[in-house]
A and B are shown apart, each in its own frame.
Chain A
Amino acid sequence: MTKRTDNFHIALLSAYAVGLHGIEALIPTPVPWLRIGLANIITLTTLLLYGFRAGMTVTLIRIFLGSFLRGTFLGPAFVLSLGGGVSSTIIMWLAHILFKRLLSPIGLSLLGAVTHNIAQLFLAYLFFVRRPEAIIIISPVILLLGTITGVFNGMITGLIMKRVTESGRQKTADF
């Protein structure tokens, strides 16, 4: 496989991530803070297929492009998104290389979701709402939702990985 097709796939994966990110904003959710984090499916798939640099590239492209499209660039939502995205990508990659055989995409996705949530709560506290009781009150709900969405996204990533590795890496673009 040449470098050029890799770059092509990474660009395509970034586009998927931006698309999912945008679609997700349109889905009505029962709880206001609930974000499924569908874009994390793409981040995790990229990490597993192409490694850390590619995964981080897709995450950063998704966050920057997503914020340009929604007009939230450099606003609070952007800061939370950037902090959560970057930290969860790092943690998922570290867990993947440290516990190579022990963790399936579900475990990795769970770690990513929780890291994302904790980073966002921390940043929200640090920069926007210096009210510890407000952060503590919403933490359990966010933790619970993160666990549920983490398993969901991990299962989908697992299905994608299964299809991709069965049909060979060249078919990545087709899923």
Chain B
Amino acid sequence: MDKLIFLLLIILTVISFPLAKKFIHPGNLVKIASDNKIAYVLPLDEAETVTVKGAAGDSVIEIKNRKVRMKESPCPNKLCVRQGWIESGAIVCVPNRVVVTISNDENNGQYDAVSR
């Protein structure tokens, strides 16, 4: 029974990796959302540093060499900052409610405005 649960979890994990990969677009847009609202959409190939107001304070996000990182964050654990540079996927800062995702141009219609 123990082994069954273990095996089930391993299988679930193995299956979930490629599934999740489908959601990671090798995109070229950096979307920064604060409190579920898109604050910035920036091109990944241009170096830039922006400041976003979150629930707890200002998060600083840096884009450089086709990579993104959370440079500064007011959250207590700094997990988002420790995640470092990412090329794809997302940085989620729960305490400050700031989410940085890298994706491509698809589904542009759902945003009210794009600032570059």
Tell me whether B61 is interfacial, beta carbon within 8 Å. no
B16-A128 in contact (CB<8A):
no
Interface size on B, residues (CB 8 A): 31
In the assembled complex, which residues on chain A have CB atoms less than 8 Å from the CB atom of B90?
A: 131, 133-134, 137-138
Q: Which residues of A from 121 to 135 have beta carbons under 8 Å from B?
A: 124, 128-131, 133-134
Interface size on A, residues (CB 8 A): 36
**Alpha-carbon distance A151/B2, docked complex (angstroms):** 10
Tell me whether B49 is interfacial, beta carbon within 8 Å. no
- The residue from A72, A110, A128, A147 contacting B97, defined by CB atoms under 8 A apart: A128
Tell me whether A76 is interfacial, beta carbon within 8 Å. yes
A77-B5 in contact (CB<8A):
no
B-side interface mostly: mixed
- The residue from B9, B23, B24, B92 contacting A143, defined by CB atoms under 8 A apart: B9
Interface window among A11-19, A55-63, A100-108? A100-108
Q: Which residues of B from 97 to 115 have beta carbons under 8 Å from A?
A: 97, 99, 101, 103
Q: Which residues of A from 3 to 26 have beta carbons under 8 Å from B?
A: none
In the assembled complex, which residues on chain B have CB atoms less than 8 Å from the CB atom of A151?
A: 6
B1-A103 in contact (CB<8A):
yes
Binding site for A on B (CB under 8 A): 1-2, 5-6, 9-10, 12-13, 16-17, 19-20, 23-24, 33, 36, 76-77, 79-80, 82-83, 89-90, 92, 94-95, 97, 99, 101, 103
11 further A-B contacts with Cβ under 8 Å, apart from A77-B77, A103-B2, A140-B13, are A124-B92, A129-B92, A131-B36, A133-B90, A134-B90, A137-B20, A140-B16, A143-B16, A147-B9, A147-B13, A151-B6
